[in-house]
Amino acid sequence: MESALSKLEALFDHPLYNMLSPPIPEEDWLLRVKPKVKASEKSSQMWVSASQDGYEDVQWNSSSNSHPPWLRFHLGISRWQLYPHRDPNMEALTQQLATSRIVSTVQKSGGTQLKLVMSFPNYGQAMFKPMKQERDDETNYNLYYFSDFERHNAEIAAFHLDRILGYRRVPPVVGRLVDVVKEIKDITTDRKLARTFFTSPVGNVCFYGQCSYYCSTEHAVCGSPRDLESSLAVMLPDLSLATRRSWRSPWRRSYSRSKLAKWETESDYCSTVKKTPPYNKGTRLVDFIDLVILDFLMGNMDRHHYETFEKFGNNTFLLHLDNGRAFGRHSKDEPSILVPLEQCCRIRLSTWLRLRLLSLPQYRLSDVMRASLSHDPLHSVAPLLSEPHLAALDRRLQTVLETVSRCQKQQSKDGGGNEVIFDDTAHLKDMVTSAG
In this predicted model, what pLDDT tens digit does every residue of 67-81 receive, in sequence order?
999 999 999 999 999
User: Is the pLDDT score of 261 beyond 60?
Assistant: yes
Cα–Cα distance between 240 and 311 in angstroms, integer? 12
User: Is the pLDDT score of 159 beyond 60?
Assistant: yes
With respect to residue 58, please indicate whether it lies within any of the assigned structural domains. Answer: no
Q: Do 316 and 410 belong together in one domain?
A: yes
User: Is the pLDDT score of 48 beyond 60?
Assistant: no
Q: Do 209 and 326 belong together in one domain?
A: no
Q: Do 159 and 224 belong together in one domain?
A: yes
With respect to residue 135, please indicate whether it lies within any of the assigned structural domains. Answer: yes
Cα–Cα distance between 43 and 38 in angstroms, integer? 10
User: Is the pLDDT score of 7 beyond 80?
Assistant: yes
Cα–Cα distance between 142 and 400 in angstroms, integer? 26
With respect to residue 429, please indicate whether it lies within any of the assigned structural domains. Answer: yes
Name which residue leads in pLDDT, 208 or 35: 208
My answer on whether omega of the bond before 201 falls inside 30° of 0, hence cis, is no
Identify which of 30, 64, 120 has the alpha carbon closest to the alpha carbon of residue 319: 30
Confidence of residue 47 (pLDDT cuts 50, 70, 90): very low
User: Is the pLDDT score of 357 beyond 60?
Assistant: yes
Largest CA distance in the chain: 70
Q: For the whole model, what pTM was predicted?
A: 0.92
With respect to residue 357, please indicate whether it lies within any of the assigned structural domains. Answer: yes
CA distances from 203 to 130, 178, 225 (A): 19, 17, 6
Is the separation of the CB atoms in 301 and 145 below 8 Å?
yes
- Give the range among 234-238, 256-260, 351-355, 394-398 with minimum mean pLDDT: 256-260
Q: Do 119 and 193 belong together in one domain?
A: yes
Q: Do 186 and 268 belong together in one domain?
A: no
- Please say which residue of 234, 257, 288 terminates a domain: 234
Confidence of residue 432 (pLDDT cuts 50, 70, 90): very low
What average pLDDT score do residues 22-26 get? Answer: 92
Residue list, annotated binding site: 113, 129, 150, 233-236, 307, 322
With respect to residue 43, please indicate whether it lies within any of the assigned structural domains. Answer: no
pLDDT of residue 15: 94
Q: Do 90 and 208 belong together in one domain?
A: yes
Question: Cα angle at 423 between 417 and 426, to 5 degrees?
Answer: 125
Is the separation of the CB atoms in 423 and 286 below 8 Å?
no
Name which residue leads in pLDDT, 430 or 3: 3
User: Is the pLDDT score of 401 beyond 50?
Assistant: yes
Residue list, annotated binding site for Mn(2+): 150, 322
What average pLDDT score do residues 154-176 get? Answer: 98
- Please say which residue of 234, 252, 281 terminates a domain: 234
- Alpha helix (H) residue ranges in 198-348: 262-265, 269-274, 284-298, 339-344
Confidence of residue 427 (pLDDT cuts 50, 70, 90): low
Cβ neighbourhood burial of 282 (10 Å; 0-12, 13-18, 19+) = middle
Other beta carbons within 10 angstroms of residue 350's beta carbon come to 20
Q: Do 257 and 396 belong together in one domain?
A: yes
Q: Do 226 and 257 belong together in one domain?
A: no
Name which residue leads in pLDDT, 369 or 141: 369
Q: Do 270 and 132 belong together in one domain?
A: no
What average pLDDT score do residues 294-302 get? Answer: 95
Cα–Cα distance between 352 and 109 in angstroms, integer? 38
User: Is the pLDDT score of 82 beyond 60?
Assistant: yes
Residue list, annotated binding site for ATP: 113, 129, 150, 233-236, 307, 322
With respect to residue 14, please indicate whether it lies within any of the assigned structural domains. Answer: no
State the catalytic residues: 302
The parent domain of residue 208 ranges over 65-234
CA distances from 65 to 23, 88, 182 (A): 21, 12, 32
User: Is the pLDDT score of 213 beyond 80?
Assistant: no
User: Is the pLDDT score of 46 beyond 50?
Assistant: no
Q: Count structural domains, the chain.
A: 2
pLDDT of residue 53: 73
pLDDT of residue 417: 58
Mean of all residue pLDDT scores within the chain: 90
What average pLDDT score do residues 409-421 get? Answer: 81
With respect to residue 28, please indicate whether it lies within any of the assigned structural domains. Answer: no
Q: Do 122 and 164 belong together in one domain?
A: yes
With respect to residue 290, please indicate whether it lies within any of the assigned structural domains. Answer: yes
Q: Do 369 and 252 belong together in one domain?
A: yes
Q: Do 225 and 301 belong together in one domain?
A: no
User: Is the pLDDT score of 4 beyond 70?
Assistant: yes
pLDDT of residue 49: 46
